[in-house]
Structure 1
Amino acid sequence: MVAPAVAPDPGPDTPTRSARLAVLLRCAAVLAAGGLTYLAWPPRTLWWLAPIGLAVLGWVLRGRRARAGFGYGVLFGLGLMTPALAWTGVFVGPVAWLPLSLLEALFVGLACAAMAVVSRLPGAVLWTALLWVAGETLRSVVPFGGFPWVKLAFSQPEGLYLPLASLGGTPLIALAVCLTGFGLGELAHRLATGRGTPKLLLVPVLATVAPLLAGIAATGAVGTDADSGEVTVAAVQGNVPRAGLDFNAQRRAVLDNHVTRTHQLAADVRAGRVPQPDLVIWPENASDIDPFRNADARALIDGAARDIGVPIAVGSVVVGEDGLPRNTVVLWDPQLGPVDRYTKRQLQPFGETMPMRSLFRLFSAEVDRAGNFQPGTDPTVFTMGRARVALATCYEVAFDSVVRDSVRNGSNLLAIPTNNATFGRSEMTYQQLAMDRVRAVEHGRGVVVAATSGVSALIRPDGSVLAETGLFTPAALVAALPLRSATTMADRLGVWPEAVMVAVALAALVSALVAGRRARTTGAGVATTPGAPRQA
């Protein structure tokens, strides 16, 4: 008689059906949490969804191994980045959108792997929040100069955290949002596992509530007074012949539109319909041909400047002596003509430049649509009457140091000429407007946003929008903004808050790794957050 076969013992390391189901549920949860966090971004005003999404992520990462943390983090990153960056594929398709989303998700996964490691330390909520900030710092500098577009701070132009920008910039907002989110996740976990004693709940409650209270308290630190007077500004939006990559395919069409709308503005001033502006800001690429090489373009700009009677900041494509293009803003005086220039320093890879062009051409011929623009080197402040106007052109507004260097160069107003026509009616322009609002508070400056096709806006130093245009409509915004020379705490501290956060985060990570190695070597237990066992 043959003995019946006996199923082998699966052993402790073989996942059971229930364990596999739990992993799948966690994967679904973090993917959904990433999507929930994305919904905090403009044009929606659901800023409070960001900490809720992070609460789910923190719950799932709690006590996991680094490998599991990486996987869950990538899924969270895909849930966040894929919809948030959909605008990158509006006219070129998924060839740009999906690889960029995956790359950014991998950076999130790397940060989450580190967060999982420190989640077993006492005070884990703080360490995980700091490591998120460190992850944002990393993806803001690499590769190809970094891509800081989807930073948590830029989801908060409406929220209670916004005033913190004036104290510590975008890293402080990110830290505050993460503390609330991870604190909320820890609080929910302790309540769900029956460890809801007042002593055990105190730390997560403080982590959840304190950042919100700090944001409310910081409102008083946001300067809005016109310590250097007031100026009437005009932002001209001339519109483009068509949306998409070929927005300027019709020679001189974009320039003609902006000249026409400026003449209309001058007529409105003479008729008393709008006040006389002290300065005018045109968008990036408003002159789609080089006015220094094309006499017709120069004559048109001269005529518009004389008609309105005040200096115009003209966004233009200027060809250098080397024959290569520069994305340049030209200060155009109504009597003297061009008197100063600012050349964009932080160029957009895969748009204005094409890194590793020959390699990427193997995958798509679309790479040859990317330009060969040359970057500028210095921040420039335009003197436009009483205003000293700092400039950050379009993509540059996402980079902390670029905007900070411009503002700290003796400015009392910030202008952001931009061209979003390439991205149609996508959310890109609203995401960028959120950045503009955060920068207004961070640097305590009124902000003039001039876009070729929208959204143009005038922003007060507290981040509120005074006026804005619609998309793909010619318009001119005219209103008074305060001139402010005072520097915020964020400007005085500069990069130091972020540097300290990253250093402390890395110290916590090293501490957790050393403790884990020692525990594996000696067999001793590792100090953990209460109820945070090591899990796969």
Structure 2
Amino acid sequence: MPWWIAVPLAALGGWCFDLANPDTSVWPLVFPSVLLILAAWWQQRPGVAMLAGLAAGSAFWLPHISWLTLYLGPIPWLALSTVMVAWFVLQGLCTAWATRGIRTLPWFRRRPTWLLVAQALTVAGVWVLREGVQGVWPYGGFPWGRVAHVLAESPLSALVSWVGFAGLSAVIVVVCAAVVGGSISVFPCTSSAWRAFIPAGVAVAILAAATLIPVASLPNHESLRVAAIQGNSKSGIFDDRENGDVFADHVRATEELLDALEVDNEHVDVIVWPENAGEFALTDNPLRGREVALLSKRADAQIVIGTVLADPDGSYTNSSVVWGPTGQQQPKETSRYDKRFPVPFAEYMPNRDFFHALVPDLVDLVQLEYRTGTTPTVMPVDTQFGDVLAGIAICFDIIFDEQAENMVQEGAELILAQSNNADFGRTDENVQQLQIARLRAIETGRAVVNISTVGTSAIIAPDGHDIATIPAFIEGAVVADVPLVSGSTPALRYGATISLVWMLIGGAGLLAGGVGLFRLRRSTTRAQ
């Protein structure tokens, strides 16, 4: 494809990929977006492929994470976008390398159908490989903007419970790759060119059939009545508030909920407050601790609260604790969770001296150094059924596959996803995070209580549908009966293996492409 066609098409594909995500949420656009991006990369020259990757990545990432500019301005947004776009550029180069190189191998040149299969599988593997590496490096990674995320409310969402996030991304990409490769292979037309469409037709048929696959169900043994509180607090980094305002907002909203429950002669088994709702050092504040204890006693239910805790060494943790009528649930060691994935440049500052020399004003905003949590990812919560194991994910914890795997392995029966989205205002960030939480519910087979200080908050069933919701920037509470689930879905049992297999396929395709290009260069040199 000529560069003057490839680059605009890639940019259009990137833009459509953003439109497929919330808030626009036109999920069918994921197919033309991936098709256009792959077409721009397919068997492309290295320079053009990288330029197309730059166009696609920029058109996607710059609008997709524009919520970073709300309070912090353009520098963090441009910095993160640059890293994410760089991954797209590298993916474009690798895709072009592999598809071009495999095509030169004599065995595949004589077998167009197998050529297309090899190219399509390699392209999907490279895509999964890019998503995987992007999710772990640098500084712990940023597994945002994956193809699977788009499909949270689509007929294909059930697939994530069988193949995991990486597997779902791969399914979509391999189908699109088969269509792109088949379309390109018919030019110039030959008597056998039609065979190139066979893999594409098979892939599309399988994808259509996949819409009929149900969510992988797990046994549930009880129903827990959960209440979640959204205080609609001024809890952003630059919000004008006094110490204790966020805490007071959630106390008030909880009292209003209990008033309504008492009028209706109803009860709840556990109450969940969002990230930072307990503000700073709840465990060391007797007055606030007693206030929460009185609420717990009145409700006859434990309260799970987000708070910031200080360590003796001067570090801090973004934490969640379980509070009962007599204070923090005993033993204290098991009733505390510390966030496993603190956010770099927000909750801690990597390479502080280096970045301070570049943007001192922004670096100085990050005053606390949150450390990585080492506590278990589940907390026992005392209920009428005895101890219920609640998996905890604080804010961006929910986007990491490792967190989901750990929660299920440690016996989580439901997931409490506490967040504070106030720093992103009325942007798309909160609904983008909510769609990931929805997929996480389907993947793990567990109900997810996604509760935010400002919303959007929702209690999500194991099949991904909303049981109850609170719109953004409204004070309120949701109450719902959710199943307590045991066991692991196929996605949790085999998802990491599926992801690894796809990455290995991508790596093998890159190696085969390298062999093909080397052979081509050597034969060209000899001919000269």
Q: TM-score, normalised by structure 2?
A: 0.90
Q: CA deviation at 1:295?
A: 2.2
Q: Out of 209, 216, 231, which is 1:222 matched to?
A: 216
C-alpha distance in 1 between matches for 2:228 and 2:409: 23
Q: CA deviation at 1:333?
A: 1.7
Counterpart residue number, 1:498: 499
CA deviation vs aligned residue, 1:343-373 (integer Å, no higher than 9, x gap) = 1011101110111112112232111212311
Matched, 1:161 2:156: yes
Instruction: Give the secondary structure class of the aligned counterpart of 2:312.
Output: coil
Q: Out of 234, 237, 256, which is 2:230 matched to?
A: 237
Q: CA deviation at 1:191?
A: 6.4
Q: Out of 374, 377, 398, which is 2:374 matched to?
A: 377
Matched, 1:313 2:304: yes
C-alpha distance in 1 between matches for 2:409 and 2:33: 35
- Indicate if the aligned counterparts of 1:269 and 1:276 stay in contact, CA closer than 8 A: yes
Tell me the amino acid that sits aligned with residue 316 of structure 1.
Answer: T
CA deviation vs aligned residue, 1:25-83 (integer Å, no higher than 9, x gap) = 32111111100011111223311111211111111112112332222112111111111
Matched, 1:208 2:188: no
C-alpha distance in 2 between matches for 1:319 and 1:300: 21
- Indicate if the aligned counterparts of 1:236 and 1:477 stay in contact, CA closer than 8 A: yes
Q: Out of 173, 178, 183, which is 1:183 matched to?
A: 178
Percent of paired sites with the same residue: 27
Tell me the amino acid that sits aligned with residue 271 of structure 2.
Answer: V
Instruction: Give the secondary structure class of the aligned counterpart of 1:317.
Output: strand
Q: CA deviation at 1:326?
A: 1.1
Q: How does 1:127-526 map to 2 (within 5 A)?
A: 127-189=122-184, 198-214=194-210, 216-219=211-214, 221-223=215-217, 227-241=220-234, 244-247=236-239, 249-272=241-264, 275-339=266-330, 340-364=335-359, 365-370=361-366, 371-384=368-381, 385=383, 386=385, 387-523=388-524
- Indicate if the aligned counterparts of 2:230 and 2:457 stay in contact, CA closer than 8 A: yes
C-alpha distance in 1 between matches for 2:29 and 2:258: 45
- Indicate if the aligned counterparts of 1:229 and 1:483 stay in contact, CA closer than 8 A: yes
C-alpha distance in 2 between matches for 1:407 and 1:448: 15
- Indicate if the aligned counterparts of 1:240 and 1:247 stay in contact, CA closer than 8 A: no
Matched, 1:45 2:25: yes
5+ unaligned residues in a row in structure 1: which ranges? 1-18, 526-536
- Indicate if the aligned counterparts of 1:445 and 1:484 stay in contact, CA closer than 8 A: yes
Q: CA deviation at 1:432?
A: 0.4
- Indicate if the aligned counterparts of 1:313 and 1:332 stay in contact, CA closer than 8 A: yes
Tell me the amino acid that sits aligned with residue 332 of structure 1.
Answer: W
Matched, 1:102 2:82: yes
C-alpha distance in 2 between matches for 1:520 and 1:191: 25
Q: TM-score, normalised by structure 1?
A: 0.89
C-alpha distance in 2 between matches for 1:240 and 1:30: 41
- Indicate if the aligned counterparts of 1:182 and 1:208 stay in contact, CA closer than 8 A: no
Counterpart residue number, 1:14: none
C-alpha distance in 1 between matches for 2:304 and 2:124: 41
- Indicate if the aligned counterparts of 2:234 and 2:422 stay in contact, CA closer than 8 A: no
- Across the two proteins, how many residue pairs are aligned to each other? 500
Farther-moved stretch of structure 1 (421-430 vs 482-491): 482-491
5+ unaligned residues in a row in structure 2: which ranges? 103-114
Indicate how the Cα distance of structure 1 residues 333 and 248 shifts in structure 2: closer, same or farther if over 3 A, else same: farther
Q: CA deviation at 1:248?
A: 7.6
Tell me the amino acid that sits aligned with residue 142 of structure 1.
Answer: W
C-alpha distance in 2 between matches for 1:382 and 1:515: 53
Q: CA deviation at 1:186?
A: 3.1
Q: CA deviation at 1:197?
A: 5.4
C-alpha distance in 2 between matches for 1:498 and 1:261: 43
Tell me the amino acid that sits aligned with residue 92 of structure 2.
Answer: C
Instruction: Give the secondary structure class of the aligned counterpart of 2:72.
Output: coil
Matched, 1:80 2:81: no
Q: CA deviation at 1:193?
A: 6.0
- Indicate if the aligned counterparts of 1:125 and 1:207 stay in contact, CA closer than 8 A: no
Q: CA deviation at 1:106?
A: 0.6
Tell me the amino acid that sits aligned with residue 68 of structure 1.
Answer: V
Q: CA deviation at 1:181?
A: 2.3
